[in-house]
Structure 1
Amino acid sequence: MYSLGTTVSAAVMVWAGGLTDIFRVRRIGAIIFVALAVSCAAMALNPVWWLLPVVIFALRFTGQGMSTHIAVVAMARWFVAARGRALSVAKLGFSLGEAVLPVLFVALMLVMDWRLLWLIAALIAVLGAPLLLVLLRQERTPQSHAKSGQSLGMEARHWTRNQTFRHWLFWFMIPALLGPSAFNTAFFFHQVHIAEVKAMSHVELVAMFPFYTAISIGAMILSGWAIDLIGTPRLIPWMQLPMVVAFALFAMAEGTLGMLVGFFFLGLNTGFNNTLPSAFWAEFYGTRHIGAIKAMAAAVMVLGSAIGPGVSGVAIDLGVGIEVQFWWIAGFFVLSTGLMVLGVGRAKGLLPGPA
């Protein structure tokens, strides 16, 4: 059900994400906030199992899909010289949510019904709509921004979504887009099973999550600064090497220390992954159609988050241990790194010179 709902949300993202090239962020953002609130309320009030995939679709589409997409598209479009730092600031909200909300809601479930917690989430989301309208009342529109100048991509032009889809570099980046979303999601999705395999209590494993989030926030801020100083083309080919180390450590770890070090490297990649890909699309394909292009990339990532838990879960049921899977996942990230080194290394010669 989770995989089905998430896969459909990825498909819809390809179309819906392009709306950020047409409408103001304040308007489409407010609509998505209200839709997210309705989705949370539906999770609380839905009485039948067969509607669960629909509710999961709505949550994934309005939450991880469009909410995150709108934020990063706005920052990638409106900031040039400080694009890396702007993206890292925008992503702090997502990281703060990862750090606080799981622990907070699990703790609240001890004293409150889980349905009430979903209704509280709906209230929080719906309150975001008027706040966004107020804060962005002086917002620039995509059309006015088009007149005031934008960043050009490879070959000194703006690429459309269809041109990007047909370009060879996009396909070199596909494994790098799929991998973190698929295998990060799979790791956290199967956290109870992982704790059992590692002979740890579930509470011990969950207690490491704030450490992971703190590392990811630090890495995200550092990567934002590094993008502006060193440049995306030099950094992005190597951003998934920490994933190789992380999953190798998860495969070998026999106690809390090994898992904790693994979370350190997992957090490094999560931080890098929050800023570098968004800067990559803007720098290599231009910003005029960045909403449609980023939506296509976001759909690939959301699809990865649907595939990862499903494939990993089936493998567990077929007798492929999670530690064996971790070794295969580390090998996958070696492959994705090699493809980025080749692809980005060839493509950076097509980038325009400094404005």
Structure 2
Amino acid sequence: MSVAAEAPRKFGWYHGWTIVAIATLAQVASNGMPVNAFTLFVVDWSSNLNTPVSTLQLAIALLGLGSAILAPFAGGLADKVPARTLLVTGLGLVALFHVAIGAIFATWQFLALYGVVLPLGMALSTSVITNTLVSRWFVRRRGLALAVTSFGLSGAGVVLPPIIAALLPLLQWRMLWMGAGTLIGLVMLPLAFWLVRDRPTEEDGLHYVSAPGDQPVSGAAAHVEVHWREVFRRRTFWIVVATYLPLLGLWGGVNQNLGPIASSRGLDQSAVGLLLSLFSGAQLGSTLLMGLLSDRFGNRRPLAMLAVIAATGGIITALGQGMIGLASGIVLVGMGGGLWPLIASAIANEFGAAASGRAFGLTMAFLPIMAFAPFAIAKTHEMSGSYVPGLIGIAIVTLVGGGICLLMKE
């Protein structure tokens, strides 16, 4: 039987791309103000709550810890509970979080919201859930679909901060947060409720859920139980973890220390702003490129290549002088942030769309390990007076991770 007979191409709009759009917007809603624009609010929060900025920064650490703890459980739910239920619940919690932040009057309230409510909301409305959902709708063009979905992570960092910075003097931070929560509740919740479906049907067309020479995967055939022990037994799972952790650690370490690194090279705040834009723009472009390469070449070679590119950028960032030298390194490291479609696609290919939620959730459980990278780079600078040892060290580990990636079988 020919591929065309197995999965005829249905012309017209494929609902899977609507799913991608909802998944992207859900990640923008969940990450945009709480994470990407966090730094724009800390001065006002510090003044209004009479709290040191360093104490407020604990919120991001609590968010990371809570998200890592919840990720495996969210992955298990993603494989069993309808995605509509999870997304609506998660976005409802995110909307509640935004409104509540606008009403806080004590530091403990702020930390509790970031440490409890936001991790719950994000666990049910971001990568673990959305990548699993998108993987069910795509086998063909899966890399591209996951890349577009990941725009919710990187795109929010490019688009939202300038908008919020312009509105903040006019509306004040409380009104911005309450307004954002209301917008999420009135727009995103209805969209998720009415448009999200778990899987395509024959009416949608099964072209995108079949690979050349394969039968389309849909309905009961898509439900294959994979237990947590089986996930841990797979070599590909550990190769993915060993590759993405140092790569993400280098990316986060440079991102969080970019201001001090630039200052140590004699650059002013305007230069730092430009470098941040270059960093986020490089991540955005890399995300799309990696999705396209995933569809064309698989995930092993693009992921290994990305590790080499980012490691090279880390070395240039450590040794480069002046704006041009530092910008060159920053762009290459920023490209490392395009790893997410490759990671999600590799997990989906290994475990199948029906079990990718649990596997991806377990993969994300290792995130706290990389959370120490920014601290390690900053601490090394405090001890040695230079960023070179810390950046070179994590760049070397990233190169090792890229080499390990070549052991992945596809």
- Settle same-fold status: TM greater than 0.5: yes
| Structure 1 residue 16 corresponds to structure 2 residue 56 | no
Q: What's the counterpart of residue 338 of structure 1?
A: 403
| Structure 1 residue 327 corresponds to structure 2 residue 399 | no
Q: What's the counterpart of residue 91 of structure 2?
A: 33
User: 1:114: Cα distance to partner?
Assistant: 2.8
Q: What's the counterpart of residue 183 of structure 2?
A: 124
Range that drifts further, 93-102 or 307-316: 307-316
Q: AA paired with 1:298? A: M
CA 1:91–1:193 in 2, change beyond 3 Å: closer, same or farther? same
For residue 126 of structure 2, give the secondary structure of its aligned residue in structure 1.
Answer: helix
Q: How does 1:2-151 map to 2 (within 5 A)?
A: 2-57=60-115, 58-63=117-122, 66-126=125-185, 127-136=187-196, 138-140=197-199, 147-150=219-222
CA 1:313–1:34 in 2, change beyond 3 Å: closer, same or farther? farther
Range that drifts further, 121-130 or 313-322: 313-322
User: 1:60: Cα distance to partner?
Assistant: 4.6
Q: 2:337 is matched with which residue: 253, 257, 270?
A: 270
User: 1:224: Cα distance to partner?
Assistant: 1.9
How far apart, in 1, do the equivalents of 2:253 and 2:169 lie? 26
Q: What's the counterpart of residue 162 of structure 1?
A: 229
User: 1:196: Cα distance to partner?
Assistant: 1.6
Contact 2:71-2:128 at 8 Å conserved across structures: no
Contact 1:17-1:66 at 8 Å conserved across structures: no
CA displacement 1:317-339 (0-9 Å, x = unmatched): 44563333111121111111122
Q: What's the counterpart of residue 227 of structure 1?
A: 294
Q: AA paired with 1:13? A: A
CA displacement 1:277-311 (0-9 Å, x = unmatched): 1110011222221111111112323x245333344
Q: AA paired with 1:341? A: L
For residue 309 of structure 2, give the secondary structure of its aligned residue in structure 1.
Answer: helix
Contact 2:76-2:358 at 8 Å conserved across structures: yes
User: 1:41: Cα distance to partner?
Assistant: 2.9
How far apart, in 2, do the equivalents of 1:251 and 1:231 lie? 31
Highest RCO, 1 vs 2 (Cα 8 Å, sep ≥ 6): 1
CA 1:130–1:66 in 2, change beyond 3 Å: closer, same or farther? closer
CA 1:104–1:315 in 2, change beyond 3 Å: closer, same or farther? farther
How far apart, in 1, do the equivalents of 2:377 and 2:177 lie? 28
CA displacement 1:248-277 (0-9 Å, x = unmatched): 111112211122212321233222x02111
How far apart, in 1, do the equivalents of 2:99 and 2:272 lie? 30
| Structure 1 residue 187 corresponds to structure 2 residue 239 | no
User: 1:72: Cα distance to partner?
Assistant: 1.3
How far apart, in 2, do the equivalents of 1:47 and 1:174 lie? 40
Question: Runs (4+) of structure 1 moved beyond 6 Å?
Answer: none
For residue 140 of structure 2, give the secondary structure of its aligned residue in structure 1.
Answer: coil
| Structure 1 residue 283 corresponds to structure 2 residue 342 | no
Identity percentage of aligned residues = 21
User: 1:14: Cα distance to partner?
Assistant: 1.4
Q: How large is the RMSD of aligned CA atoms in angstroms? A: 2.8
| Structure 1 residue 201 corresponds to structure 2 residue 268 | yes
CA displacement 1:233-260 (0-9 Å, x = unmatched): 4433333111111111111122111222
Runs of 5+ in structure 2 lacking a partner? Answer: 1-57, 202-216
Q: What's the counterpart of residue 154 of structure 1?
A: none
For residue 371 of structure 2, give the secondary structure of its aligned residue in structure 1.
Answer: helix
Q: What's the counterpart of residue 351 of structure 1?
A: none
User: Rg larger in 1 or in 2?
Assistant: 2
Range that drifts further, 52-61 or 332-341: 52-61
Range that drifts further, 330-339 or 37-46: 37-46
CA 1:65–1:33 in 2, change beyond 3 Å: closer, same or farther? closer
CA displacement 1:73-117 (0-9 Å, x = unmatched): 111222112211211222223332111112322343344433333
For residue 72 of structure 1, give the secondary structure of its aligned residue in structure 2.
Answer: helix
Contact 1:18-1:292 at 8 Å conserved across structures: yes
How far apart, in 2, do the equivalents of 1:200 and 1:60 lie? 36
User: 1:215: Cα distance to partner?
Assistant: 3.1
Range that drifts further, 79-88 or 322-331: 322-331
The two structures have a TM-score, normalised by structure 2, of: 0.73
How far apart, in 2, do the equivalents of 1:311 and 1:51 lie? 29
User: 1:10: Cα distance to partner?
Assistant: 0.6
Contact 2:239-2:405 at 8 Å conserved across structures: yes
How far apart, in 2, do the equivalents of 1:117 and 1:192 lie? 26
| Structure 1 residue 172 corresponds to structure 2 residue 172 | no
CA 1:54–1:186 in 2, change beyond 3 Å: closer, same or farther? farther
User: 1:33: Cα distance to partner?
Assistant: 0.8
Contact 1:238-1:341 at 8 Å conserved across structures: no
Contact 2:123-2:129 at 8 Å conserved across structures: no
How far apart, in 2, do the equivalents of 1:102 and 1:305 lie? 25
